[in-house]
């Protein structure tokens, strides 16, 4: 499920305390057990495994500024009328012993938990921000994908193997976007901007032809303003969308490999609930977005511009359509016979972020074994049945933390405005009929209203009656 990205670089003490309380409530493990830390440090000191040498590939990473948990590095090259995608993924399996203390600690976490003031990593930083990360100028073990595309971006051939790689540079999205826009940067390979755009746009066209849609979530930052705080959005750059398509391409390719072999684990998502779509339509109205009745969601999203605050807020709210995301183990007699991902409109697997997601480590090794013509290792087979539950537990906890953190930050932004009136649209009425949810356009927040007879889908005047930053609570009442 796409996550809302919210930054609060210097949190007030009340927000920091609220987040500390929230982590404790959700039982998010901040510290690693001593045995797991010792295993991670020992693994980081081990000599590199004896792998085929692919350090001649001029790979680069593309991430937000200052990132240290670098899962992917990419190199694109023309191949006749098509393009070959070389995609190196961090080889976490080289550092984690199946059944060891570190493996047990990572399974208990499931995912890296992100919040406005930092993250709680899936792996100890000795690995996630150092020895296993594809940092520039460092020799690293990797799962190296080679995906050959035809002239229209269709996959012609694909394989993955373990190899030793070395990233040439750690680039930011802004650096690559400037190169796309014609501003030279010696760190950006000459052919990267054009080929990334080409592959990204081709894959986006194929996604739309399948009926899929990618949701690019703009980053939010809380900034000081007029003695208080305000929410601002950072528009998503085209490069970010193209880069995401390379990751999606790899996940779709991995799903096909595992499906053909009958072993592995896929990411699934049911079609959006009509009630959630109706609610999102009401949210569009609240934010001043025209959504004609005959226009599908898949056709609306590409028309939105995350540089427009109302559009950015809508894209954040659209994450509500991703309810029901799960994992399906191939070969499970009780599993879904057609485990598709509705948003991508294809079978799909998580294999590109093993530093941040537990499941990727096992999908990567399954794909490697299939490509090598080898049996999938026993440690993968043994782990597969428990992975959906472990991932559900981790992602649900991370989602609740994300929502609670957003609540605390929205309370901080609204605190100086207690007693003021706002225009809002009623986007939901709860089953008891005594409560509902409204969306306010400026600032773009969603909040609860305790009142009977709320007119669903209609605009009403509301007054901000209560703000509790430590309690992460904001309440409005109808005027």
For residue range 339-361, list pLDDT tens digits in order: 899 999 999 999 999 999 999 99
Does the residue 30 lie in any domain?
A: yes
The pair of three-digit structure tokens given for residue 269, joined into one six-digit string: 């998502």
**What is the number of other CB atoms lying within 10 angstroms of the CB of residue 31?**
10
The whole-number pLDDT of residue 372 equals 98
**What is the number of other CB atoms lying within 10 angstroms of the CB of residue 397?**
20
Range among 1-15, 16-30, 106-120, 132-146 rated most confident? 132-146
335 has a pLDDT exceeding 70: no
Alpha helices in 1-114 (DSSP H): 13-25, 34-45, 101-109
Q: How far apart are CA 282 and CA 132, in angstroms?
A: 45
- Burial, 295: exposed, middle or buried (Cβ in 10 Å; 0-12, 13-18, 19+)? exposed
Q: Which domain holds residue 60?
A: 5-270+324-417
Does the residue 287 lie in any domain?
A: no
Does the residue 293 lie in any domain?
A: no
* pLDDT band per the 50, 70, 90 thresholds, residue 11: confident
Does the residue 410 lie in any domain?
A: yes
Does the residue 433 lie in any domain?
A: no
438 sits in which H/E element: strand 435-440
The pair of three-digit structure tokens given for residue 447, joined into one six-digit string: 């909040």
* pLDDT band per the 50, 70, 90 thresholds, residue 333: low
135 has a pLDDT exceeding 90: yes
Does the residue 107 lie in any domain?
A: yes
Q: How far apart are CA 113 and CA 430, in angstroms?
A: 29
Does the residue 306 lie in any domain?
A: no
For residue range 413-456, list pLDDT tens digits in order: 999 999 999 999 999 898 777 888 988 888 888 888 988 889 98
117 against 3, higher pLDDT: 117
The whole-number pLDDT of residue 229 equals 86
The pair of three-digit structure tokens given for residue 132, joined into one six-digit string: 């296993």
- Location of structure tokens 């649209």: 425
The whole-number pLDDT of residue 1 equals 47
* pLDDT band per the 50, 70, 90 thresholds, residue 2: low
The pair of three-digit structure tokens given for residue 304, joined into one six-digit string: 């939105």
Does the residue 35 lie in any domain?
A: yes
Query: CB-based contacts of 157: which residues, under 8 Å, 6+ apart?
Result: 146, 147, 148
Q: How many domains are contained in the chain?
A: 1
């Amino acid at each position: 499920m796409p996550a809302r990205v919210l930054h609060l670089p210097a949190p007030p003490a009340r927000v920091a305390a609220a987040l500390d309380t929230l982590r404790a409530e959700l039982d998010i493990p901040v510290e690693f057990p001593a045995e797991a830390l010792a295993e991670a440090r020992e693994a980081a000191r081990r000599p590199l495994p004896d792998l085929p040498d692919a350090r001649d590939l001029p790979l680069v990473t593309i991430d937000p500024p200052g990132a240290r948990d670098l899962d992917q590095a990419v190199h694109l090259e023309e191949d006749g009328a098509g393009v070959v995608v070389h995609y190196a993924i961090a080889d976490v399996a080289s550092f984690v012993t199946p059944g060891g203390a570190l493996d047990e600690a990572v399974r208990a976490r499931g995912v890296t938990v992100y919040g406005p003031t930092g993250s709680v990593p899936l792996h100890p930083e000795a690995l996630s921000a150092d020895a296993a990360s594809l940092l520039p100028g460092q020799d690293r073990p990797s799962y190296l994908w080679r995906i050959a595309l035809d002239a229209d971006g269709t996959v012609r051939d694909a394989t993955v193997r373990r190899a030793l790689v070395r990233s040439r540079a750690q680039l930011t999205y802004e650096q690559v976007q400037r190169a796309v826009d014609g501003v030279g940067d010696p760190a950006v390979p000459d052919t990267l901007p054009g080929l990334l755009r080409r592959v990204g746009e081709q894959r986006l066209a194929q996604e739309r032809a399948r009926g899929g849609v990618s949701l690019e979530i703009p980053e939010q930052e809380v900034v000081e303003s007029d003695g208080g705080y305000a929410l601002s959005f950072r528009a998503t750059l085209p490069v970010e969308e193209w880069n995401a398509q390379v990751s999606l391409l790899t996940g779709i390719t991995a799903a096909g490999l595992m499906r053909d072999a009958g072993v592995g684990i896929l990411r699934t998502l049911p079609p959006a609930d009509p009630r959630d779509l109706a609610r999102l339509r009401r949210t569009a109205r609240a934010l001043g977005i025209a959504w004609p009745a005959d226009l599908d969601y898949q056709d609306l999203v590409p028309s939105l511009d995350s540089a427009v605050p109302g559009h950015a807020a809508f894209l954040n709210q659209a994450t509500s359509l991703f309810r029901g995301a799960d994992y399906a183990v191939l070969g499970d007699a009780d599993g879904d016979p057609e485990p598709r991902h509705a948003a991508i409109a294809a079978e799909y697997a998580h294999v590109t972020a093993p530093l941040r997601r537990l499941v990727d480590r096992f999908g990567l090794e399954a794909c490697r074994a299939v490509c090598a013509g080898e049996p999938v290792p026993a440690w993968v087979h043994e782990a597969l049945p428990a992975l959906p539950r472990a991932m559900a537990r981790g992602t649900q906890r991370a989602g609740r933390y994300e929502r609670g953190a957003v609540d605390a930050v929205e309370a901080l932004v609204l605190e100086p405005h207690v007693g003021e009136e706002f225009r809002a649209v009623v986007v939901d009425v709860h089953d008891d009929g005594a409560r509902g949810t409204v969306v306010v356009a400026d600032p773009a927040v969603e909040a609860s209203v305790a009142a009977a007879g709320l007119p669903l889908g209609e605009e009403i005047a509301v007054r901000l009656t209560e703000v509790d930053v430590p309690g992460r609570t904001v309440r409005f009442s109808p005027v």
